[in-house]
């Protein structure tokens, strides 16, 4: 993977939650049951919180009505339709079981060999179009894989100033 998924998301969310609560890193760490050093590493983007702490931070954010991506990740995980959400570095952040992808891994390393060239070409189209700079862009994508015509819808969403791609396969 080229970058850790959500690496830039956590520093932003933690900083906003701490700011609203008016807590320094030490007090925030005590509230979570961790160390000030861990909070510092999370805010610098050196590490991402363990799942236990991610849940606590997300619940705090939700209570304060701070924008978060957690709900969307849960919806995609539970979807009966083939769906994924990815960051601009092509890391899968969440994936439905029917998608054939796993969260925490890069798309390219999970893409079948015969479809990799198509993925690379489409990634270049997204970059050239400015997809990763805006919110609300939609692309209908199709390519041939063996005897099959594959189709998908790719929708950009922005959460906390970061653009993500929600992809739903239609075939």
Q: What does the pLDDT look like over 46-78, one tens digit per residue?
A: 888 998 998 899 889 888 877 777 778 888 988
- Say whether both 53 and 95 belong to one domain: no
- Say whether both 51 and 23 belong to one domain: yes
Neighbouring CB atoms inside 10 A of 6's CB total 20
- Which burial class, exposed, middle or buried, applies to 37 when counting CB atoms under 10 A from its CB (0-12, 13-18, 19+)? exposed
Point out the least confidently predicted range of 18-27, 81-90, 132-141: 132-141
Domain of residue 53: give its range: 9-63
- Say whether both 59 and 113 belong to one domain: no
Neighbouring CB atoms inside 10 A of 48's CB total 18
- Which pLDDT belongs to residue 19? 86
- Say whether both 49 and 94 belong to one domain: no
Torsion sign, CA atoms 56, 62, 64, 69: positive
Domain assignment present for residue 23? The answer is: yes
Domain assignment present for residue 73? The answer is: no
CATH assignment of the domain containing 24: 1.10.260.40
Torsion sign, CA atoms 13, 70, 59, 32: negative
DSSP 8-state assignment for residue 111: S
The total of structural domains in the chain comes to: 2
């Amino acid at each position: 993977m080229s970058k850790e998924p959500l690496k830039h998301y956590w520093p932003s969310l933690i900083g906003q939650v701490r700011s609203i609560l008016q807590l320094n890193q030490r007090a925030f760490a005590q509230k979570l049951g961790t160390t000030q050093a861990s909070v510092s590493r999370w805010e610098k983007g050196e590490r991402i919180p363990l799942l236990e702490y991610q849940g606590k931070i997300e619940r705090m954010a939700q209570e304060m009505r701070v924008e978060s991506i957690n709900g969307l990740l849960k919806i995609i995980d539970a979807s009966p339709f083939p769906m994924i959400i990815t960051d601009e570095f092509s890391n899968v952040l969440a994936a439905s079981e029917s998608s054939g992808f796993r969260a925490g891994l890069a798309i390219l390393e999970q893409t079948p060999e015969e479809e990799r060239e198509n993925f690379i070409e489409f990634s270049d189209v997204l970059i050239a179009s400015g997809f990763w700079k805006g919110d609300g862009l939609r692309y209908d994508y199709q390519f041939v894989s063996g005897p099959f015509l594959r189709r998908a819808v790719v929708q950009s969403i922005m959460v906390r100033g970061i653009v993500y791609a929600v992809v739903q396969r239609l075939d």
